[in-house]
Amino acid sequence: MELHLEDKVAVVTGASKGIGLAITKALAREGARVVAGARTIDALSGIDRVTAVALDLVAPDGPARLVRRAIDDHGRLDVLVNNVGAVRMRLQGFLGTSDEEFDWALQTNFFAALRATRAALPAMLSGGAGAIVNIASVNAFFEPDAGVLDYGAAKAALLNLTKSLAQEFGPKGIRVNAISPGPVSTDLWLGQDGVAHTVARATGVDPDTARKNVLASIGGLATGRLTTPEEVATLAVMLSSPLTANVTGSNFVVDGGLIKTI
């Protein structure tokens, strides 16, 4: 299917691994020119049609610097994918989670996207069109325990912002949507500081057993496997395309059947 993304200019945050890297590659394969930001950019080296920018997206000026690079290089901005995010397991529950830890979660998972969006909108408005895709999480509305309560709160704020921006800027040609992945085969779940290893260390089992135990405790996955980054990327690219021009203010769940309710 031709997605009409040839020579569109896209910014992707948190682009060096996992979902962000998959989205960057998928947009580039569709012909977009991608300005990809992350702290480290080795994994982005040599990808055709991709400009890698090393910067801290949690710093107050980081998102605007990335957007400015895209506009300076290409003179326009058509797509913004707010992917940057991270989670730290909170095994001590609410009373063991400090203000500073909530602040870290909000800065990383909400304010980085907020700032990138604020920087991107003027260029999109001047062009009369644009697509913003926010990578949220099922934890924005699914909290089976306190392990990710600060992360979930930040992602819930991102979903709320998605709805508000879609209403305000829809009449001006800007579409804003969200994707809420469930467990994905990235470092967030499988890395040394991810869910599986953190729970394994706390419970005295191996990471594979810990992963299976966590998934079982939250209801299990109908497909029996984690979502791949590429599956999330496919949806992100579709939402970036003019073919979905009347889709806005929506949240798309990609969770392998984790959420059982309608």
| Catalytic residue positions, numbered | 151
Residue 221, class by beta-carbon neighbours within 10 Å (0-12 exposed, 13-18 middle, 19+ buried)?
Answer: middle
The DSSP bridge pattern shows strands 9-13 and 251-254 to be unpaired
Q: In the chain, how long is the greatest CA-to-CA distance? A: 56
Burial 58-83 (b: 16+ CB within 10 A, else e): beeebbeebbbbbbeebebbbbbbbb
- Can you tell me whether residue 7 is helix, strand or coil? coil
Ramachandran category for residue 90: left, alpha or beta (phi over 0 → left; psi -120 to 50 → alpha) = beta
